[in-house]
Amino acid sequence: MNRLATSGEITPSTVRPTPPKSSGFTPASTGMDIARPDLARKRRRKQILLSLAAVAVVGAISVVLARLEPAAPRVENPWFDTVKRGQMLRQVRGNGTLVPEQIQYVQADTGGQVERILVQPGAAVTADTVVLELSNPELKQSAFDAEWEAKSAIAQLERLRVQLESDRLGQEAALATLRADAKQALLEANADEILAADGLVPKIILEKSKAKAEDLVARVAIEERRLQFAAESATAQLAVQQAEGEKLRALRDLRQRQVENLRVRAGIDGVLTQLGDREVLQAGQRVTPGATLAKVVVPSRLKAEVRIAETQARDVALGQLASIDTRNGVVTGRVVRVDPAVLNGTVLVEVKLEGPLPRGARPDLSVEGTIELERLDDVVYVGRPVQGQPDSTVGLFRVQPGGKFAVRVPVKLGRSSVSTIEVVGNSLQVGDKVILSDMSQWDGHDRVRLD
């Protein structure tokens, strides 16, 4: 005991007392580990059941999550409209300008140099108002030469007329003499014939008298024809000379008119709106024949030229009502011309204004024109969507009951107007509320949330 105690390995407190024997003794009460296979099996079974339950729960959650719809994107402040039934006014709209119905372009008859500018753009002018003056010394010299050539032609015509008249009188005098000789020869032949019947004149003398008379009578007929031809020839010569004189007088008048036109006049009563064509004319500048010198318009007679998109202009026709907004007032009118050509994707439509012009209306003023195509009775229509085109099918978001969500529905569209479009089919009902804003950024979603 002393050795064990001194070694420190065994102490009285570490020695377990031997339990007393009794009939109630059990192995567990001894504090020893005894194998229990049934408990291990229960433990393993419990772990397997828990694992299976966990797998089942995860699978169920996955199925539920797979069946859930993705979260709807949020749309802020969309533009709504309600589907209606009734009369829809079809209109098309376009921008344009006011242009004068009557425009006078003053052009240069001949070339020249701008000598003076007497009237500036914006001034009221009359038809005889001199706008500017040109100088052309060569033209003035040409007019002077043409004047003297015309006078020379007139003198030559008079000289020819005198000469032809003198020739005619000479031919008539010769014809008169020949007629007298023929008459005398006839008298002598008749006398010789009487004397020959009495035997007083030989037969040969009678024949000579008759031959002479017949010759003179024939010469009279020839000279009469020559006189007639001479008169016709004189008429032709006079006509040629007169034509030459008229040509020279016309050239003289043209040159004089060109000289007069160097003083450029407005031509009509109106307002001078432009000097020159592309550049403003300045004193000392040279101009060529046919160059535009000035532009004069009648400001009280204006029409509107409106450009309509080619996709909307197919139903525009003559006589349709139109309204022109000048920003200072609206004036009514009617379509009077539709340009058959397309320029830059638009068609030019001319509108004749029928009402009084608003204050401030002037040529080249920018306006907005609206043309009434037709009135459709008892149709279903809605405000025109941003992406909506006539005779097409688009996806529109229809607001669901409660106003919190909107779902995409295919909508077939028909005829269109400026701000409304016809709804074809039963995709939308009267009273449905749809989004008209641009929803292209939500093309991948069929359901959106509204704020």
Going by pLDDT thresholds of 50, 70 and 90, the confidence category of residue 260 is very high
For residue 187, which phi and psi values (nearest 5 degrees)? -65, -40
SS3 76: coil
Specify the pTM.
0.56
**Mean of per-residue pLDDT scores for the chain:** 84
Q: For residue range 148-174, what is the model confidence (pLDDT) as tens digits?
A: 999 999 999 899 889 988 888 888 888
Pairing of strands 405-416, 112-117: unpaired
- Look at residue 69 in the predicted model and tell me its pLDDT: 54
Is 85's pLDDT higher than 90?
yes
Is 251's pLDDT higher than 90?
yes
CATH topology for 80-99+301-450 is Elongation Factor Tu (Ef-tu); domain 3 (2.40.30)
C-beta separation of 423 from 414 below 8 A? yes
| Cβ burial 374-405 (10 Å sphere, 16+ → b, else e) | eebeebbbbbbbeebebeeebebbbbeeeeeb
The residue with tokens 């009369």 is 87
If you average pLDDT over residues 283-290, what whole number do you get?
Answer: 89
Is 237's pLDDT higher than 70?
yes
Residue 228 gets which letter from DSSP? H
* More confident of the two residues 55 and 178: 178
Residues 6+ apart with CB under 8 A from 164: 234, 237, 238
The pair of structure tokens assigned to 287 is 């101009």
Is 337's pLDDT higher than 90?
yes
Q: For residue range 369-426, what is the model confidence (pLDDT) as tens digits?
A: 999 998 999 999 999 898 888 889 999 999 998 888 899 999 999 988 888 999 998 8
Is 66's pLDDT higher than 60?
no
- Look at residue 21 in the predicted model and tell me its pLDDT: 46
- What residue spans define the domains of the chain? 80-99+301-450, 110-132+265-296, 137-260
Compute the distance between CA of residue 339 and CA of residue 346 in angstroms, rounded to an integer. Answer: 10
If you average pLDDT over residues 317-346, what whole number do you get?
Answer: 93
Going by pLDDT thresholds of 50, 70 and 90, the confidence category of residue 442 is confident
User: Nearest-5° angle of CA 38, CA 42, CA 46?
Assistant: 170
Is 137's pLDDT higher than 80?
yes
**pLDDT above 90 covers what percent of the chain?**
39
The CATH code belonging to domain 137-260 is: 1.10.287.620
Pairing of strands 74-75, 447-450: parallel
Q: Closest Cα partner for 296 from 122, 97, 133?
A: 122
Pairing of strands 447-450, 405-416: antiparallel
The pair of structure tokens assigned to 283 is 């004193």
User: Looking at the DSSP assignment, which residues form a beta bridge with residue 165?
Assistant: none
